Structures are given as C-alpha cells and as structure tokens.
Amino acid sequence: MPIDWTPFVELVRRSQRFLLTTHVRPDPDGLGSQLGLADALEGMGKQVRMVIASAWPPRYDFLDPDKRIQRFQPPGNQYRDVDAVVILDTATWNQLGDFGPFLKTLTCAKAVIDHHLSWDDLSALRFVDTASESTGRLVYEAIQALDGPLSTKAANFLFAAMATDTGWFRHQNTVPATFALAEKLVAAGAKPTWLYEQIYERNPPAKLKLMGTVLLRLRVVEDGKVALSDIRVEDYAATGAIPQDSEDLVNYCRSVDGVDVGLLFMEQPAGGVKVSFRSRENVDVAKIAEQFGGGGHRLASGATLQTTLADAERRVLAAVGAALG
C-alpha cells in the first residue's frame, strides 16, 4: 500500500532544524538515504545535521567526502537543539546503538522512514513500506511529496541506496518499478558506472585477505543446505582488515551450489558475535534472526548474540535446522 506522506510533509513544513541518523554499521541504503534527504531539506532552506552511532566505513568515503556525517558520541548534548529527528533504514533500538538512549530523552518530533519487517516502538511517525526494495526509494517518494529539489548529488545518493540493496539489480526484491526509478535517477544525473566502481572495485588488499580467510573456513552442513564461515577477532590484525571489511562476505556462503542458507559469524572487538544470514526463497531468515534479537528481510537479516563464537554457531545452526524442517 502506498505511503501517505502528508504527515511527513506537515512535519517538514513546521520544522527548521533536523537531525538525521541511520543504523550502526551503515550501508549505502542508510547513508545514501541520509545524504539524499539532507540535500533535499537543505534545498528547501532547512538546517540539517547527520550522525551515525558507529565507526564510519572507509569503503564509502566517496559518498561523503566533506565528512558531514559525524560519529555520535554520548551524551550527545550538542545535538539536542533540533525540531525533528528522522531515523532512516531501521526501526529497532538495537540498530541505533548509543544513539538509542539519547533518542529516548528527546521531546521533539520524530519520524522513521524504513522498509524492514522488524520494528520497535520508537515513539515516532512511521513511514514504512516493507514491499519497497530500499529506503532510498522511500526517500525519493518523500522528496517528491515535498515538491523538493532532486539534485544530481541526491540522485547519486539514492541510486547507490537502491542499487546496493538489490545486489545491483540481482536480488529478488528487484521489480519493474526498481528499473523505472533507476531510469528517473539516471535522468536526474546519477552515474551508475562510477558508483559501481567506487563501491565494488576499490577493494583494499586487507579486505581480500580477509575474504580468503572466510573462504578457507567455509563449511557445508545440514546435508548441503547450509554453508557457514567465521571471522575471529585476531583475523583483523592478521590480515590488516577492519570489521567493516566483512560486509558482503556472507554472500559467498550463500553462493555455494545447493545451499539454501548462508551464515557468517563475526566475533566483535567489543564482545559478542554478529551473525549475518542470507537465504534463498525456502527459508525466512528474518524470523530466525528475530529469535536472537535481530531482524531484517526475509532473505537477508542479522543478529548479535552476547556469547562465544562456538555457542553462537551451535544455537543459530539449531534454529536454522529447525526452519529447514
């Protein structure tokens, strides 16, 4: 069902100072949505600040060369003087990191723009369409509802958001409307070739070494239906990689012939184990991730378990095995 953007338009019209954020370990959908909406709001004469509650991923430096998106650090008092907060590409407390407790103390207007199935009550207006392939699409719709400007910069941001969340138009969430929006964004100045090169063809050697480690540890279980691998804390020092370099590596697990579910277990430097889930049509990994306090999409989800690597693998494999029947 199409979103009624009227309450969002009213929120924007009565507000002047905005604070935008997205989920921890941000991807181009979250970052591109932030930057695209900020560009449009500033084109309307609004004041905008942007934060994320985790380290900036160097892979996406090209999206924000001026480093406008700042690292949120509690208590965050410098961000209190705002009229509205817009949360993009997530609606769960655990994905907001240290920004979550800060958000709970704010009395200003709040809005969520998101396309994920999992959500918590953030005491915000919800503009959610789980049928949308990306939050970038929803930001495009919001800009259209606002009659706001769509600059070449914003078109690039939103194209990056949409293209990456569809696996560059390979995933099952790619529909005819996806290509129609791509056409509009390219007509507005988006540069797909340049974006693809920036995102996928500038891998540092350390990331490729980490990829090699993941592939060497790859195992296939559950009668060939599940492939998994892991990244341990010491692997980062051994390869020179950083945690953000693990992004997308779970897709190699799912790519194994005959596999329905791919899993990547990643020990976190601060403790706990992050698990990335990828599946084919047969298994809803969002429901599995929700068992561990996570969530996401039917075919791509994540969760973090505060336990050891061995225990996380045991518990998650048991849940996946049950889902496979």
Q: Are residues 150 and 237 in the same domain?
A: no
Dihedral sign for Cα 309, 310, 311, 312, please. Answer: positive
- The residues facing 88 across adjacent strands are 22, 113
For residue 95, the SS3 value is helix
Q: How many other C-beta atoms can be found within 10 angstroms of the C-beta atom of residue 160?
A: 31
Q: Are residues 109 and 163 in the same domain?
A: yes
Of 192, 204, 120, 200, residue with least CA distance to 163: 192
Q: Are residues 183 and 246 in the same domain?
A: no
Domain limits for position 307: 206-324
- CA dist 309 → 187, 250, 272, 290 (Å): 47, 16, 8, 19
Examine residue 92 and state whether it is found in any structural domain, yes or no. Answer: yes
pTM: 0.86
Q: Are residues 168 and 225 in the same domain?
A: no
What is the CATH number for 81?
3.90.1640.10
Q: Which two tokens stand for residue 178?
A: 């996806």
Examine residue 123 and state whether it is found in any structural domain, yes or no. Answer: yes
Q: Are residues 152 and 230 in the same domain?
A: no
What is the CATH number for 240?
3.10.310.30
Q: Are residues 45 and 164 in the same domain?
A: yes
- Give the span between the Cα atoms of 68 and 29, in whole angstroms: 17
Give 80's Cβ-side CA count (13 Å radius).
Answer: 11
Q: Which of 150, 171, 200 is the last residue of a domain?
A: 200
Q: Which of 181, 200, 219 is the last residue of a domain?
A: 200
What does the DSSP assignment read for 122-182?
Answer: -SSEEEE-TTSS-HHHHHHHHHHHTT----HHHHHHHHHHHHHHTTTTTSTT--HHHHHHH
Q: Are residues 41 and 65 in the same domain?
A: yes
Rg of the chain over Cα atoms, rounded to whole angstroms, equals: 19
Q: Measured at the alpha carbon of residue 12, what is the angle toward residues 295 and 104, in degrees to the nearest 5?
A: 45
Examine residue 1 and state whether it is found in any structural domain, yes or no. Answer: no
Q: Are residues 194 and 215 in the same domain?
A: no
Q: Measured at the alpha carbon of residue 200, what is the angle toward residues 199 and 203, in degrees to the nearest 5?
A: 100
Q: Which of 157, 176, 200 is the last residue of a domain?
A: 200
pLDDT per residue as tens, the chain (325 positions): 689 999 999 999 999 999 999 999 999 999 999 999 999 999 999 999 999 999 999 999 999 999 999 999 999 999 999 999 999 999 999 899 999 999 999 999 999 999 998 899 999 999 999 999 999 999 999 999 999 889 999 999 999 999 999 999 998 899 999 999 999 999 999 999 999 999 999 999 999 999 999 999 999 999 999 999 999 999 999 999 999 899 889 999 999 999 999 999 999 988 999 999 999 888 999 999 999 998 888 899 999 999 999 999 999 999 999 999 8
Examine residue 40 and state whether it is found in any structural domain, yes or no. Answer: yes
Q: How many domains does the chain have?
A: 2
Q: Are residues 65 and 182 in the same domain?
A: yes
